[in-house]
Amino acid sequence: MVGRREGSFGNMAGVDSRGALQQHAPMEFRGRVFLAPLTKGGNLPFRRLCLAHGCDVTMGEMAYGYQVVKRSKSELALLRKHPEETCFGAQVAASRPADAIAAGLAAAERGASFVDLNCGCPIHDVVKRGMGAVLLQRPAQLGKLVAEMVKGLPVPVTVKIRLGWSADERNEGEVGKAVEQAGAAALCVHGRTREQRYSRAADWDAIARLAAELTIPVIGNGDLLTWYETHDRWQRSGVASVMVGRGALVKPWIFREIAEKQAWEPDASERLAVYHDLAQKMKVHFRDDAKGRERAMRFLPWHFEFFCRYRPLSAERWVAASREHPLLQTRFPDDEPDLGLLERLLRDPRPEVHERLAAILWEAPEPAAAEAQALELAAAMPPVAGDAGETATAHG
Ligand SMILES: Cc1cc2nc3c(=O)[nH]c(=O)nc-3n(C[C@H](O)[C@H](O)[C@H](O)COP(=O)(O)O)c2cc1C
């Protein structure tokens, strides 16, 4: 049952919940566009929305290995995938091999095609428990952990790192080698340090150097918001694959744009229909009753923090600027004079507007009904203070 790597293909067998051998589709780590692991954002309905818009590799929200060992229901739920997710990677945070393996096995039982070890989470509570980005400071321990996971899991193991703990402790080369030698099937690199969080542009030159140094596929990650930035960074860095995080939260249709190398610039009405689809998928997942609504409302308004940042960014106008500085890290003045009511509403950054939009989407049986109610809301809402000001698109 121990995995073997052949080229960039991972091994294929898993065990289902009844202990029967389950075949996993061969996992190809090259030439793919991954949806990044996103705590809260990467909930199952949102992942299905991304699939509907051309995404073919999804990843789950980070699950704590030690909580899976305790059979925590909420943690086990993070390892669950939808049958539509044919290439699903579960992400695990752990410091001890036993926890990582237990969580990885639980994920494989639930059909995960691969298991990813989180080595990038910057949060204090996580690193103080010896998980996440702190593993970057301990490459030898990390190597042993990954080797144990590779030995103990029936699916390929990947590792997601940042460039190091801080600018003074950059060690992505050493970490990458340790992970490769330990038998990881691929390495994902978010091109910033733990200390940087999101404060700077991702360093795609560093990602490129790592891709050149390693033989396992490197998946480059950081600041991809448009199809042209994605192809530019992908080509220039020589990475095997790319991963999209906030870009997908802002526009879940980015996957099709990347595949087709052209933008889809939906108007407000078309975007509302996409968001309505997410609400419907939440009804299916959480159930269409009062309890389901309550659970969905922990997520749906939150998504508007990202949806409201959508701006059409045509290649003609923005490609040159995007080579200098990523558009995801750029502030755009909201100075267009002729924005319609619905467009203004969807760009509104206020949490109370997000709550009300989410409620409308939940109640409306179809997009047209949602639009009529959203227009009423737009007419009733006083304009945002400093409406013509700047809107930040960077997160965290
Ligand atoms: C809301 C949010 C939640 C995230 N949760 C996780 C997570 O659970 N595991 C992880 O490895 N990275 C997580 N990240 C980091 C992303 O996976 C990704 O590495 C980072 O956002 C950079 O990619 P981007 O510039 O495309 O967003 C999260 C990022 C965001 C914005």
Instruction: State the pLDDT at residue 218.
Output: 98
Region 40-54: mean pLDDT is 98
> Domain for residue 94, yes or no?
yes
Do 313 and 221 lie in a common domain?
no
Å from CA of 28 to ligand 1 middle: 22
Number of domains in the chain: 2
Together in a domain, 205 and 163: yes
From atom 6 of ligand 1, which residue's Cα is the shortest distance away? 38
Kindly state whether residue 193 falls inside one of the protein's structural domains.
yes
Distance 52 CA to ligand 1 centre (A): 21
Residues touching ligand 1 (Cβ under 6 Å) are 36-41, 61-62, 91, 118, 120-121, 160, 190, 221-224, 244-247, 328, 395-396
| 108/224 same-domain check | yes
Q: How many angstroms separate the alpha carbon of residue 37 from the centre of ligand 1?
A: 6
- C-alpha 214/C-alpha 196 separation (Å) is 24
Same domain? 170 vs 317: no
Q: Are residues 108 and 128 in the same domain?
A: yes
For the full predicted model, state whether its pTM sits above 0.85.
yes
Give nearest CA residue, ligand 1 atom 20.
Answer: 245
Is 119 marked active-site? no
Which of 50, 121, 188, 308 is catalytic? The answer is 121
Q: Which of 244, 260, 276 is the last residue of a domain?
A: 260
Whole-number Å distance between alpha carbons of 169 and 59: 28
Q: Looking at the structure, do residues 72 and 217 belong to the same domain, yes or no? A: yes
Among candidate residues 260, 294, 318, the one where a domain is terminated? 260
Cβ proximity of 251 and 43 under 8 Å: no
The residue contributing the CA closest to ligand 1 atom 19 is 190
Whether residue 78 is contained in a domain is answered as yes
Same-domain check for residues 126 and 53? yes
Residue 198 and residue 133 in one domain: yes
Encoded tokens for 86: 């044919």
356 and 275 in one domain?
Answer: yes
What SS3 class is residue 341? helix
231 shares a domain with 126: yes
| Average pLDDT score over residue span 125-143 | 97
Range of the domain at 344: 268-391
The CATH number of the domain holding residue 36 is 3.20.20.70
Check: CB of residue 61 under 8 Å from CB of residue 42: yes
Percentage of the residues of the chain whose pLDDT score is greater than 70: 90
> Ligand 1 centre and the CA of 332: distance in Å?
22
DSSP-H helix ranges across the chain: 44-52, 65-69, 73-77, 97-109, 124-127, 139-152, 172-181, 204-213, 227-237, 246-250, 254-260, 268-286, 290-296, 300-307, 315-324, 341-347, 351-363, 367-380
Nearest CA to ligand 1 atom 21: 245
The radius of gyration computed from the CA coordinates of the chain, to the nearest angstrom, equals: 21
CA distance 214 to 216: 6
**Is residue 1, in this structure, part of any structural domain at all?**
no
Residues 233 and 304 in one domain: no
List the Cα angle 329/332/333 in 5-degree steps. 150
Is residue 182 included in any domain, yes or no?
yes
User: Mean pLDDT score of the chain, rounded to an integer?
Assistant: 91
Cβ distance 33 to 55 under 8 Å? Answer: yes
Domain boundary residue, one of 235, 260, 285:
260
Percent of the chain with pLDDT over 90: 85
104, 139 contact by CB (below 8 A): no
Whole-number Cα distances in Å, 39 to 63, 118, 208, 366: 9, 12, 27, 28
On whether residue 8 sits in a domain, the answer given is: no
In a domain, 23, yes or no: no
Condensed to tens digits (0 to 9), the pLDDT of residues 79-117 reads 999 999 999 999 999 999 999 999 999 999 999 999 999
